[in-house]
Copies of this chain bind each other. A is one copy, B any other.
Amino acid sequence: MSEPRWLNETELRAWTGFLETSDLLHRMVEQQLREVGGVTTVQYDILHRLNESPEKRLCMTDLADRLVSSRSGITYQVAQLEKAGLLRREDAPDDERRVLAAITEKGRQVLERTAPGHVEAVRAGLLDFLAPDQVAQLAAIMDATRAHLRSTVQLHPPRRARSR
């Protein structure tokens, strides 16, 4: 094992800044959504993904992948949202195993009601505060990193061979 390449001053600022900023932003957005009431960040994200999907519905696994969450976590949250009437579960027509989550009219209304404040919070916390070229830089950096990590990180633990 050779000497580890420690982070220089700039790299350290980039890394720790990224971590801390992401926590702070997450908290800020969570607070804002809580005040308006109704949904958490995770639930907002789920509804948003469903709504932007062409069919207005997605199966559980696709949801989990897009939200970078575990499957069981999605099962839980979809159950919560179904109880609240913001989405509906449906059987997929072509594959009996799949379960589709479809946003309901009520869910769409929640989105419509909370989206403007949400976007304002995002602006106030991040975008409006940066210079336009910085926003562009951030977009480029995040685009590249996201694609890179998508192909690197394994979202779900590998399934071990069935016993016997």
Interface residues of A (CB under 8 A from B): 1, 4-7, 10-11, 13-15, 17-28, 31, 67-68, 115-116, 119-120, 122-127, 129-130, 134-146, 148-150, 152-155
User: In the complex, what distance in Å separates the CA atom of A83 from the CA atom of B149?
Assistant: 35
Query: Contacts of A134 on B, CB cut-off 8 Å?
Result: 137, 140-141
Known contacts A120-B4, A122-B7, A145-B129, A135 near B68 by CB under 8 Å: no
Query: Contacts of A141 on B, CB cut-off 8 Å?
Result: 17, 130, 134, 137-138
Number of copies of this kind of chain in the complex: 2
Q: List 21 A-B contacts (CB under 8 A).
A: A5-B119, A5-B120, A7-B122, A7-B127, A10-B136, A11-B135, A13-B142, A14-B142, A17-B138, A17-B143, A17-B145, A19-B22, A24-B68, A24-B149, A27-B68, A28-B152, A125-B145, A125-B149, A125-B152, A129-B145, A138-B138
Point out the residue from B17, B116, B122 that lies within 8 Å of A146, measured CB to CB: B17
User: In the complex, what distance in Å separates the CA atom of A160 from the CA atom of B86?
Assistant: 33
- Contact between chains at B149 and A116 (CB < 8 Å): no
Query: Contacts of A115 on B, CB cut-off 8 Å?
Result: 4
